[in-house]
């Protein structure tokens, strides 16, 4: 993997990740852009203790542009966007409309491919491996920033999820705090360690493997399963067999096997609801241990992949119980979801 770091016209950082070591990236961004001005602010909810990012400047962000004006496509054929080169493998840049900025953290956009009409599931294993390399490198770089406590790599796919740019891309957030969801996991892991002397994540994976009814696929270095208390209609958790706190610690065997495993899961998601259905909307989220906090050594890197579509033509809405009280009601039994995901395996 070759990494080339440059800057955009307004001073934001842009990084190219290329498979070929002899690739030259010297295109210059000539757009007349003013320096980015943000008003990101972190406020604490005194009742829940949650952090909320107030980012009013995001109201002006790009919203469903036509394909010929996509800002994530390469700069060519008279089209000028965020990436000045005429082609690219993987590109990462600072978000022009960040939720977190300055002392409040950092937000980056990850473009998985220059092909506007592709999706992550369309990538080759070599391309997916390059994305994994970019995620890992960005985790290492952001971990070195004083204002970053936790790194979150994720992808939103589909208009139903709220995606406003159709180009295949994801994001990376560098939070200046430990996120509420991770705090809950750390708290549960600490309690489990105190009560049993064992690691909670290890026990969860072992229980799923022993039961087997919710396992979707298992390889030499990865295990994927629908969790026992799944929140979403179709939800898969993917764990490396060797527990590590974040992407930086994955061994070469797990890295080599990841593209095949992950692409298979994404392709199964697109087959859940049968032929002729539109692509399945999903969120894919890497859960990594925060830095410098108690319990980091007990945390387990894992990826959570889920869709808000519960059946053909119907979405799972977060209504009164979910949004008002954080109590999820799942219409699809986890065992049935796992069975369906096994049925649609690649032949």
Assess whether pLDDT exceeds 80 at residue 278. Answer: yes
Long-range contacts of 160-164 (CB under 8 A, 24+ apart): 160/281, 160/308, 160/309, 160/315, 161/281, 161/282, 161/283, 161/308, 164/61, 164/62, 164/63, 164/64
Residue 242 and residue 321 in contact, taking contact as beta carbons nearer than 8 Å: no
- Cβ 259 vs Cβ 292: under 8 Å: no
What integer pLDDT is reported at residue 198 of this predicted model? 98
Q: What is the pTM of this model?
A: 0.95
Residue 20 pLDDT > 70, yes or no?
yes
The confidence band for 276, taking pLDDT boundaries of 50, 70 and 90, is: confident
pLDDT > 70: what percent of the chain? 98
Token pair for residue 7? 């800057």
For the stretch 62-93, pLDDT in tens is 656 887 889 999 999 888 999 999 999 999 99
Instruction: Report yes or no: 189 and 295 within 8 Å, Cβ to Cβ.
Output: yes
Residue 279 CB partners (closer than 8 Å, separation 6+): 119, 157, 158, 270
Question: Using 50, 70 and 90 to split pLDDT, how confident is the model at 324?
Answer: very high
Statement: residue 10 has pLDDT above 70: yes
- Of 14, 26, 152, 41, give the one whose Cα is nearest residue 96: 14
Q: What pLDDT, in 10s, does the model give residues 255-268?
A: 999 999 999 999 99
Query: What is the pLDDT, as a whole number, of residue 55?
Result: 85
Q: What percent of the chain stands above pLDDT 90? A: 88
Say what the alpha-carbon torsion angle 196, 199, 203, 209 is, to the nearest 10 degrees.
-160
Q: C-alpha distances in angstroms, 198 versus 32, 101, 313?
A: 57, 38, 43
Fold match flag (2-175 vs 180-343): yes
pLDDT at 59 over 70: no
Residue 65 pLDDT: 80
Q: What is the pLDDT of residues 85-121, one digit of tens each?
A: 999 999 999 999 999 998 999 999 999 999 999 999 9
Q: From 3.30.300.30, 3.30.1280.10, 3.40.30.10, 3.30.428.10, which CATH number describes the 2-175 domain?
A: 3.30.428.10
Q: Where are the alpha helices (DSSP H) in 53-211?
A: 125-143, 180-196, 200-211
pLDDT at 56: 76
Taking alpha carbons only, the member of 106, 105, 72, 78 closest to residue 90 is 72
Query: How many CA atoms does the CB half-sphere of 271 hold within 13 Å?
Result: 16
Write down the architecture of domain 180-343 according to CATH.
2-Layer Sandwich (3.30)
Provide mean pLDDT across the span 308-312: 95
pLDDT of residue 213: 98
Residue 321 has pLDDT above 80, yes or no: yes
Is pLDDT at 38 greater than 90 in this prediction? no
Catalytic residue among 57, 116, 169, 192: 169
Annotated domain spans of the chain: 2-175, 180-343
Most confident of 37-41, 50-54, 137-141: 137-141
Distance of CA 132 to the CA centre of its chain: 11
Q: Catalytic residue at 57? A: no
CA distance 50 to 137: 29
């Amino acid at each position: 993997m070759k990494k080339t770091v440059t800057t955009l016209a307004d001073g934001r950082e842009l990084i190219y990740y290329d498979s070929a070591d002899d690739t030259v990236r010297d295109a210059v961004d000539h757009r007349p852009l003013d320096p980015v001005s943000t008003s990101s602010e972190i406020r604490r909810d005194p009742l829940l203790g949650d952090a909320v990012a107030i980012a009013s400047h995001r109201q002006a962000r790009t919203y469903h542009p036509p394909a010929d004006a996509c800002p994530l496509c390469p700069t060519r054929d008279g089209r000028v966007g965020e990436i000045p080169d005429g082609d690219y493998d993987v590109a990462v840049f600072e978000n022009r409309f960040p939720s977190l900025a300055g002392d409040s953290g950092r937000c980056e956009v990850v473009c998985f491919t220059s092909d506007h009409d592709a999706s992550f599931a369309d990538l080759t294993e070599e391309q997916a491996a390059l994305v994994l390399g970019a995620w890992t490198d960005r985790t290492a770089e952001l971990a070195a920033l004083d204002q970053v406590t936790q790194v979150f790599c994720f992808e939103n796919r589909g208009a139903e999820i709220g995606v406003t740019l159709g180009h295949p891309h994801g994001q990376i957030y560098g939070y200046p705090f430990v996120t509420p969801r991770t705090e809950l996991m750390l708290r549960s892991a600490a309690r489990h360690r105190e009560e049993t002397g064992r690691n909670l994540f290890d026990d969860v994976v072992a229980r799923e493997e022993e039961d087997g009814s919710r396992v979707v696929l298992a390889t030499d270095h990865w295990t994927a399963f629908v969790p026992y208390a799944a929140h979403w209609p179709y939800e898969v958790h993917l764990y490396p067999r060797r527990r590590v706190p974040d992407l930086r610690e994955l061994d070469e065997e797990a890295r080599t096997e990841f593209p095949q495993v992950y692409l298979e899961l994404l392709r199964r998601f697109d087959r859940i609801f049968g032929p002729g259905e539109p692509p399945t909307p999903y969120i894919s989220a890497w859960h990594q241990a925060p830095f410098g906090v108690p319990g980091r050594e007990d945390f387990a890197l894992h990826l959570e992949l889920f869709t808000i579509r519960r059946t053909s033509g119907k979405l799972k809405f977060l209504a009164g119980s979910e949004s008002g009280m954080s109590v999820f009601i799942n219409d699809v039994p986890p065992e049935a979801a796992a069975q369906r995901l096994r049925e649609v395996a690649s032949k």
